[in-house]
Amino acid sequence: MWAVGRVCFRIFFFFIFHLYITYIFGEYLYYFLFLSLIILVLVEEKDVKLVPHPLVNDRIITSINVDSENG
């Protein structure tokens, strides 16, 4: 439950902060910052690693090789 509360607080705080940034800089910067911070919050809360696993890379390479051999 604490994790859900932290996420909600961060989103609310950043939303208010970005409304202030929108007032100063304009809409497009607001959209970019808001989306980037939502992505950062989700990555931090789920502990998603941005570096893919080597096995995933092997599967992607083999699927590309199989497709190129059949084509």
**pLDDT (tens digit per residue) in 19-64:** 777 677 776 776 777 777 777 777 765 555 555 555 555 555 444 4
Residues 39 and 11: beta-carbon distance below 8 Å: no
| pLDDT score for 70 | 52
| pLDDT score for 38 | 79
pTM of the shown model: 0.29
> CA 64 to CA 41: how far, in whole Å?
33
